[in-house]
């Protein structure tokens, strides 16, 4: 089902994350079945698909956030630089340090803006100049100008859009290799959304990004590759998500191989 990339060899060489035949269960329910895809380095990959098809679920598999959900279970293989992400030898804490995450709802800590950034660095044993790190992270997240005079104020006192950029700054501060973003703009106004999108463009130079979005335009604007997920109902009534098609964003939006993809991206769905 996954169509060939223009240059498959190049892509496999630089794949940072690789999922093979991944199934995810919540308790005894299969939520997502048989997902295989590669996340290439320094690219932006968008996950799109109808609600409940398992985009967030797969995203959380990549930094083992699913471990925190009681009853969640992952089988199949996910590798990070060719090492099995789920092997006993790897500490999920270490993985999350290298694969950061930004959530759908901004969730700054009830601490000062400064401490929001410094927290991650501190627990990860950062030795350098903390002021400098805070400033550079906030600059990268395009929020420095707005908060530089109130670093001591609570992160909760910011607007939703500012909070989300603060959360992105917080994720960047520990210099992860990959940033996972679960609908980062869904709570934001169009202007903040644009700023976050610009930000993603810049971050691409240094980071690999996976972003879940319900916004087709956003997916086509920011991503290099797009994965379309869909869900099918079982006889028991619950839905099982699966990967329909994964390709260059251009191809997904203009020349999809699957009818379902065509219907979804053109808004003729369900």
Ligand X SMILES: Nc1ncnc2c1ncn2[C@@H]1O[C@H](COP(=O)(O)OP(=O)(O)OP(=O)(O)O)[C@@H](O)[C@H]1O
Which residues would be at the binding site for another protein (CB under 8 A)?
A: 63, 65, 68, 93-94, 96-98, 100-101, 103, 105, 107-111, 119-120, 123-124, 154, 156, 167, 170-171, 174
- Give which of Mg ion, ligand X, another protein, none residue 87 binds (C-beta under 5 to 8 Å, depending on kind): none
Q: Which is nearer to another protein, 25 or 119 (CB)?
A: 119
Compute the least distance from the CB of residue 182 to Mg ion, in Å: 6
- Work out how close the CB of 212 gets to Mg ion at its nearest, in angstroms, rounded to a whole number: 6
Q: How far is the CB of 91 from Mg ion (least distance, A)?
A: 26
What is the DSSP secondary-structure string of the chain?
-PPPPSSHHHHHHTEEEEEEEEEEEETTEEEEEEEEEEEETT-EEEEE-STTSSHHHHHHHTTTGGGGSTTEEEEEEEEETTEETTSTTS-HHHHHHHEEEE-SS----SSBHHHHHHHHHHHTT--S-HHHHHHHHHHHTT-HHHHTT-TTSBGGGS-HHHHHHHHHHHHHHT--SEEEEESTTTTS-HHHHHHHHHHHHHHTTT-EEEEE-S-HHHHHHH-SEEEEEEEEE-TTS-EEEEEEEEEEHHHHHHS-SSHHHHHHHTT---
Choice between 166 and 252, CB closer to another protein: 166
187 binds, among another protein, Mg ion, ligand X, none (CB under 5 to 8 A by kind): none
State in angstroms the smallest separation of the CB of 86 from ligand X: 18
Site for Mg ion in 123-162 (CB under 5 A): none
Rounded least distance, CB 28 to Mg ion, Å:
21
Name residues contacting Mg ion, limited to 34-63 (CB under 5 A): 56
Decide whether 120 or 241 has the Cβ nearer to ligand X.
241
Separation in Å, CA 46 to CA 60, 162, 191, 210: 14, 23, 20, 6
Least CB distance from residue 4 to ligand X, whole Å?
26
- Binding positions for ligand X, rule: CB under 6 A: 26, 31, 51-57, 69, 239, 241
CB closer to ligand X, 25 vs 144: 25
Nearer to another protein, 30 or 102 (CB): 102
Q: In the bound complex, which residue of the shown chain has the CB atom lying closest to Mg ion?
A: 56
Residues found near Mg ion in the complex (CB under 5 A): 56
């Amino acid at each position: 089902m996954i169509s060939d990339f223009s240059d498959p060899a190049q892509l496999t060489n630089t794949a940072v994350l690789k999922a093979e035949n991944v199934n995810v269960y919540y308790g005894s329910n299969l939520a997502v079945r048989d997902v295989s895809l590669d996340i290439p380095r320094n690219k932006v990959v968008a996950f799109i698909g109808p609600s409940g098809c398992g985009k967030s679920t797969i995203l959380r598999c990549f930094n083992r956030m699913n471990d925190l959900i009681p009853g969640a279970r992952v089988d199949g293989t996910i590798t990070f630089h060719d090492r099995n992400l789920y092997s006993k030898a790897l500490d999920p804490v270490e993985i999350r340090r290298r694969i950061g995450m930004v959530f759908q709802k901004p969730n700054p800590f009830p601490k000062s803006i400064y401490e929001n950034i410094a927290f991650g660095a501190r627990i990860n044993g950062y030795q350098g100049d903390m002021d400098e790190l805070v400033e550079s992270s906030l600059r990268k997240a395009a929020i420095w100008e707005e908060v530089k005079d109130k670093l001591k104020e609570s992160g909760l006192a910011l607007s939703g859009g500012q909070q989300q950029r603060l959360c992105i700054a917080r994720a960047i501060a520990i210099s992860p290799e990959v940033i996972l973003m679960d609908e980062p703009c869904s709570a934001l106004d169009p202007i903040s959304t644009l700023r976050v999108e610009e930000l993603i463009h810049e971050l691409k130079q240094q980071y690999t990004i996976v972003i879940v979005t319900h916004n087709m335009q956003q997916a086509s604007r920011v991503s290099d590759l797009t994965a379309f997920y869909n869900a099918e109902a079982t006889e028991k009534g619950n839905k099982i998500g699966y990967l329909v098609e994964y390709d260059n964003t251009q191809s997904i939006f203009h020349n999809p191989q699957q009818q379902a993809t065509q219907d979804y991206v053109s808004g003729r769905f369900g």
